[in-house]
């Protein structure tokens, strides 16, 4: 209950006696069971790890709290990141809490409305470049080489360290590792972090196994699946609209060591799962988050893997409220009536 990952997983994180311990309440997110959907898909158990319940509405908070704590420990006064939106919101929030100056570089016109609102409200300075995420990341990487600013993208190793805690929580809650983990892949830091977390917990004896890692890129932004950098990535799932993932190798390692796959799902499949997740499970994730479920549906349809004995966890990386435009664009059936009992009764067909 707001203990925070620094305190809860102190012994498993790179914390020293001089690391400041603080929290906005990140972590301890719900693991929601979905028995009806499990039956429909044909797997034994199905859970959604809903990272939208983090304080800035995405999984980024787990790693950001560690990265910012370490920046403080090192005496840094300024943090910077490139972002498709979630990282910038998280950096801005923890920067605000700790009294650090924060700067974010985002692709102009390609960041969901809610995420932009967050960065501005938390008081960060927002630079929108006429380019994509990959270019933004190159720029900030170059920038920190010559200026005393801490880079808090997931190339900062403390980010990945903190994000491991989501894997710890899943094992803590289930009492074992799931058989399979479905996860969206964009910059690939999260699949890298989950895999390290599962491996570490298994080595510590907290679980007897590690899950098969199933990562899903968007079809228009699938560099790992296609084995090449995508110059102009395109997908409705803006959080994973990335053509040259910083943690490419980490993702490949997670896939290979776990005997898993990295596959792609189309925007149509993503949007279908986006709606299913909300209307069948009551979980409103952002479009990119639905890549997990879309991938699981694809796998089930493919029929190459027997899911009937499997426990599956799908990671829902961020809150649907981050991107209200996509929601309203794809669903817009409001019935308007006068403020009268009979009118409402008729509208409801009663």
Contacts of a second copy in 79-138 (CB under 8 A): 92-97, 99, 103, 105, 108, 113-114, 116-118, 120-123, 125-132, 135-136
Would you say 103 and 149 are in contact if contact means Cβ atoms under 8 Å apart? yes
CB of 229 or CB of 343, closer to a second copy: 343
Q: Where are the beta strands (DSSP E) in 152-297?
A: 180-184, 212-218, 261-265
Using CB under 8 A, pick the residue from 41, 46, 57, 87 that binds a second copy. 57
CA distance 277 to 301: 17
Q: Can you say how many angstroms the Cα of residue 144 is from the centroid of all Cα atoms in its chain?
A: 25
* Count of residues in contact with a second copy, rule CB under 8 A: 87
Phi/psi for 107 (5° steps) reads -75, 120
Of 192-200, 236-244, 290-298, 326-334, the window that binds a second copy (rule: CB under 8 A) is: 326-334
Centre a 10 Å sphere on the Cβ of residue 131 and count the other Cβ atoms it contains.
Answer: 15
Q: Which residue bears the tokens 């649907």?
A: 320
Cα-Cα end-to-end distance for the chain: 43
Using CB under 8 A, pick the residue from 14, 39, 77, 142 that binds a second copy. 142
Of 214-222, 227-235, 240-248, 274-282, the window that binds a second copy (rule: CB under 8 A) is: 274-282
Report if residue 14 touches a second copy, rule: CB under 8 A: no
Report if residue 332 touches a second copy, rule: CB under 8 A: yes
Using CB under 8 A, pick the residue from 56, 86, 190, 289 that binds a second copy. 56
Tokens representing 45? 């158990």
Tell the smallest beta-carbon distance from residue 137 to a second copy (Å). 11
Of 31-39, 151-159, 175-183, 214-222, the window that binds a second copy (rule: CB under 8 A) is: 31-39
Rg (CA), the chain: 20
Using CB under 8 A, pick the residue from 14, 20, 42, 282 that binds a second copy. 282
Using CB under 8 A, pick the residue from 12, 19, 45, 173 that binds a second copy. 173
Would you say 183 and 151 are in contact if contact means Cβ atoms under 8 Å apart? no
Using CB under 8 A, pick the residue from 19, 40, 45, 139 that binds a second copy. 139
Report if residue 25 touches a second copy, rule: CB under 8 A: yes
Of 11-19, 20-28, 262-270, 294-302, the window that binds a second copy (rule: CB under 8 A) is: 20-28
CB of 77 or CB of 108, closer to a second copy: 108
CA distance 126 to 22: 25
**Helix (H/G/I), strand (E/B), else coil: 308:** coil
Report if residue 337 touches a second copy, rule: CB under 8 A: yes
Tokens representing 310? 């499997």
Report if residue 175 touches a second copy, rule: CB under 8 A: no
Q: Which residue bears the tokens 């692709």?
A: 107
Tell the smallest beta-carbon distance from residue 81 to a second copy (Å). 12
CB of 10 or CB of 345, closer to a second copy: 345
Residue 116: closest CA among 164, 139, 150, 83: 83
Report if residue 245 touches a second copy, rule: CB under 8 A: no
Would you say 48 and 277 are in contact if contact means Cβ atoms under 8 Å apart? yes
């Amino acid at each position: 209950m707001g203990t925070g990952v620094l305190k809860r997983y102190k012994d498993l994180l790179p914390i020293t006696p001089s690391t400041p311990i603080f929290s906005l309440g990140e972590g301890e997110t719900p693991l929601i069971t979905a028995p009806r959907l499990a039956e429909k898909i044909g797997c034994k158990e199905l859970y959604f790890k809903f990272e939208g319940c983090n304080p800035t509405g995405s999984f980024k908070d787990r790693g950001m709290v560690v990265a910012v704590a370490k920046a403080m420990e090192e005496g840094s006064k300024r943090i910077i990141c490139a972002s498709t939106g979630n990282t910038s919101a998280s950096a801005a929030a923890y920067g605000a809490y700790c009294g650090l100056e924060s700067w974010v570089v985002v692709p102009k016109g390609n960041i969901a409305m809610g995420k932009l609102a967050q960065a501005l409200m938390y008081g960060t300075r927002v630079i929108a470049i006429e380019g994509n995420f990959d270019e933004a990341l190159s720029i900030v990487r170059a920038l920190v080489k010559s200026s005393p600013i801490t880079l808090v993208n997931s190339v900062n190793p403390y980010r990945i360290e903190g994000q491991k805690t989501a894997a710890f929580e899943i094992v803590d809650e289930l009492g074992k590792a799931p058989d399979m983990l479905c996860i969206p892949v964009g910059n690939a830091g999260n699949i890298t972090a989950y895999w390290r977390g599962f491996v570490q917990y298994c080595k510590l004896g907290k679980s007897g196994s590690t899950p098969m890692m199933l990562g899903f890129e968007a079809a228009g932004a699938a560099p790992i699946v296609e084995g090449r950098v995508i110059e102009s990535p395109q997908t409705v799932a803006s959080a994973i609209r990335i053509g040259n993932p910083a943690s490419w190798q980490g993702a490949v390692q997670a896939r290979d060591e776990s005997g898993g796959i990295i596959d792609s799902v189309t925007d149509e499949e993503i949007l279908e799962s986006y709606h299913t997740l909300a209307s069948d499970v009551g979980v409103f994730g952002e479009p990119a988050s639905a890549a997990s479920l879309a991938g699981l549906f694809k796998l089930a349809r493919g029929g190459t893997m027997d899911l009937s004995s499997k426990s599956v966890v799908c990671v829902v990386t961020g809150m649907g409220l981050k991107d209200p435009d996509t929601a309203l664009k794809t669903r817009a059936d409001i019935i308007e009536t006068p403020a009268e009992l009979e009118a409402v009764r008729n509208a409801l067909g009663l």
